[in-house]
Structure 1
Amino acid sequence: MKVLTLNCHAWQEENQMEKIKHLAQVIKEKQYDVIALQEVMQLIDETTEEKVKQDNYAVVLLSELMKLGVYDYQFIWDLAHIGFDVYEEGLAILTKGEIKSAKSFLVTKSQDIQHFRTRRIVGLEIMHENQPITFYSCHLGWYHDEEEPFKGQVDELVAHLDSDQLNIIMGDFNNDANVRGEGYDYILSKGLIDTYTLAKTKDEGSTVVGKIDGWSENKRDLRIDLVLTNQPVTVKSSNVIFNGKNKDIVSDHYGVEVEFDLHS
């Protein structure tokens, strides 16, 4: 099984449509079973009551996939908060599997969509070779945020996991895995497992280089986009993608692709 996580920085990129087309081409090539996306935006449009609008990044991506003859993906999306004043910013999961159930829940004290600190997680359950697996797409806050503590967000996430089956938790955790004693270590202390550490083959792992939104003072390479599990699994590989070396850049974050061997 192959998965991808990507903070797509939707509609904030130069040459945005070319980057979406490239992402679609790579998805066709790689045939990921599940794709978790963060910062999946659509313009605020008061003229329609449709929850998912036609300019939703995920809708446009699926349209590009269909132009390439790829019709087997479906997706869920939900709104987290208003981004950049004019966008409804949310999270999405795309899958080729049949969606058995979907969920969406807040992990912050704030429920106000006008507040950028409001954080939501979306999840879906599929059957993969007769095994139920639940996947989550996450975009959490910063460790030192006193208003919405990172630990509280992780606690809420873990409380929603189904301990009776495999959970794969993907996304932008806004905490560098190379920093000890902070958010990454707290994630591990709650029993979650980083697939990067389990991978039989892997690269250097950094997904953010230099300054980006939310990391305006950053001067080092960060590994903040992660693929986690709640149970030990066999991980064949973990690779950074869309970094200019392994496929062209499509966002201010690089993606992470992980291949599992769930038969072992």
Structure 2
Amino acid sequence: MKVLTLNTHSWMEEDPYGKLESLVESLAAEAYDIIALQEVNQSMDGDVIKDETFISPREDQLIVPIKEDNFAYLLVEKLKEKGLSYYWSWAANHIGYDVYDEGVAVLSREPFKAESHLISRADDYASHYTRKVLKAKIERSGKRWTVMSAHYSWWKNDQEEKLFQHEWEQTLAVIQPDERERLIVMGDFNNEPQTDNEGYALIERTAPFIKDSFKAAGTSIGEATVERAIDGWEGHQDHKRIDYVFVGNGIQVNRYRVVFDGKAQPVISDHFGVEAMINEKLTKS
């Protein structure tokens, strides 16, 4: 199984439609089985649409309808034109850049059930600190996989509140014990592994049932997923690995690869993507 996570920074890039087309070309060539996307934007004042491949998530908070320029919707439609069909779901986190509904998405070649969970302390839709995790339950070859797409906050805010810790603890609360074996948690975590006693260390301490695909892979190609200062990381010009694919301990990761980094594929966002090739037959953890 081939999976991908990417913070798309959609509609905020220069030549956004050109980059959408580049993304479509690359995704069509790779034919990923499951894709997790973050910063999936749509115009707040856009026309509401319906799509038969959209899976409405069971929500625990505000439900925002799909608009005609939803980035994931356009991506799915353009992939369909190339003969690649996906089922998809999307959940809005908050208002982005004053004009967008910003959310997270999951795309899958197989149909699935979806649910969205508020994980942040904030619940005001106007606050960029409001965050959700989108959870998909996907049947593949008679086995159920649980896939989560999330865009987490930084370790703490200016008031020294530990944002990520709360969001991660709430994420763990919605992972059932029987979902841990075939679990994939992907997204923009906004925490670096080399920073002691912060987000990455918290994950290792509180979730021993998952592992970082970068460390677990038989072959790893690339590392950093951000190579310049971006929103939320102003003044940080150094290379950062803040986008992850975590998998259950019994899942074998054959290959980890950084993509959309200007090498094998064009840069289409302020983040690079992460691809993982995993073996669907579980091994002993």
Which range, TM-score by smaller chain? over 0.9
**Kept in 1: contact 2:48–2:66 (CA 8 A):** no
Any idea what SS the aligned residue of 2:80 has? helix
Q: Which residue of 2 aligns with 1:67?
A: 81
Q: Which residue of 2 aligns with 1:27?
A: 27
What one-letter code is carried by the residue in structure 2 that aligns with 1:161?
Answer: I
What do the CA deviations read for 1:80-133 (whole angstroms, capped 9, x no partner)? 00000000001100000121x211011111111100001111111111222100
**Kept in 2: contact 1:109–1:148 (CA 8 A):** no
Q: Which residue of 2 aligns with 1:105?
A: 117
Unaligned runs of 5+ in 1: none
Q: 1:24, CA displacement in angstroms?
A: 1.1
Q: Which residue of 2 aligns with 1:39?
A: 39
Q: Which residue of 2 aligns with 1:120?
A: 132
Unaligned runs of 5+ in 2: 51-64
Q: 1:167, CA displacement in angstroms?
A: 1.4
Number of equivalences: 262
C-alpha distance in structure 2 between counterparts of 1:45 and 1:227, whole Å:
33
Q: Which residue of 2 aligns with 1:155?
A: 169
C-alpha distance in structure 2 between counterparts of 1:13 and 1:128, whole Å:
35
**Kept in 2: contact 1:170–1:227 (CA 8 A):** yes
**Kept in 2: contact 1:178–1:223 (CA 8 A):** no
What do the CA deviations read for 1:208-264 (whole angstroms, capped 9, x no partner)? 001111111112100000001243310000000000012000100000000001225
Any idea what SS the aligned residue of 2:197 has? coil
C-alpha distance in structure 1 between counterparts of 2:132 and 2:143, whole Å:
26
Any idea what SS the aligned residue of 1:133 has? strand
C-alpha distance in structure 2 between counterparts of 1:14 and 1:113, whole Å:
26
Equivalent runs, 1:1-264 vs 2, <5 Å: 1-45=1-45, 48=48, 51-70=65-84, 72-99=85-112, 101-145=113-157, 146-147=160-161, 149-165=163-179, 166-191=182-207, 192-263=210-281, 264=283
Q: 1:135, CA displacement in angstroms?
A: 0.4
1:206 to 1:47, Cα distance in 2 relative to 1, 3 A: closer
Runs of 4+ in 1 over 4 A off after TM superposition: 46-50
Q: 1:47, CA displacement in angstroms?
A: 6.2
With normalisation by structure 1, the TM-score equals 0.95
**Kept in 2: contact 1:212–1:252 (CA 8 A):** yes
Deviates more, 1:251-260 or 1:185-194: 185-194
Q: 1:40, CA displacement in angstroms?
A: 0.3
**Kept in 1: contact 2:5–2:186 (CA 8 A):** yes
| RMSD, matched Cα | 1.5
**Kept in 2: contact 1:141–1:148 (CA 8 A):** no
Deviates more, 1:242-251 or 1:191-200: 191-200
What one-letter code is carried by the residue in structure 1 that aligns with 2:260?
Answer: F
What one-letter code is carried by the residue in structure 2 that aligns with 1:84?
Answer: Y
Q: 1:148, CA displacement in angstroms?
A: 5.4
C-alpha distance in structure 2 between counterparts of 1:46 and 1:96, whole Å:
27
C-alpha distance in structure 2 between counterparts of 1:53 and 1:46, whole Å:
5
**Kept in 2: contact 1:238–1:256 (CA 8 A):** yes
C-alpha distance in structure 1 between counterparts of 2:147 and 2:105, whole Å:
11
1:153 to 1:36, Cα distance in 2 relative to 1, 3 A: same
Q: 1:174, CA displacement in angstroms?
A: 0.2
What do the CA deviations read for 1:139-186 (whole angstroms, capped 9, x no partner)? 000112234521111100011112213210000000012322211111
What one-letter code is carried by the residue in structure 1 that aligns with 2:151?
Answer: H
Q: 1:68, CA displacement in angstroms?
A: 1.8
Give percent identity, aligned residues only: 35
C-alpha distance in structure 2 between counterparts of 1:67 and 1:29, whole Å:
13
Any idea what SS the aligned residue of 2:14 has? coil
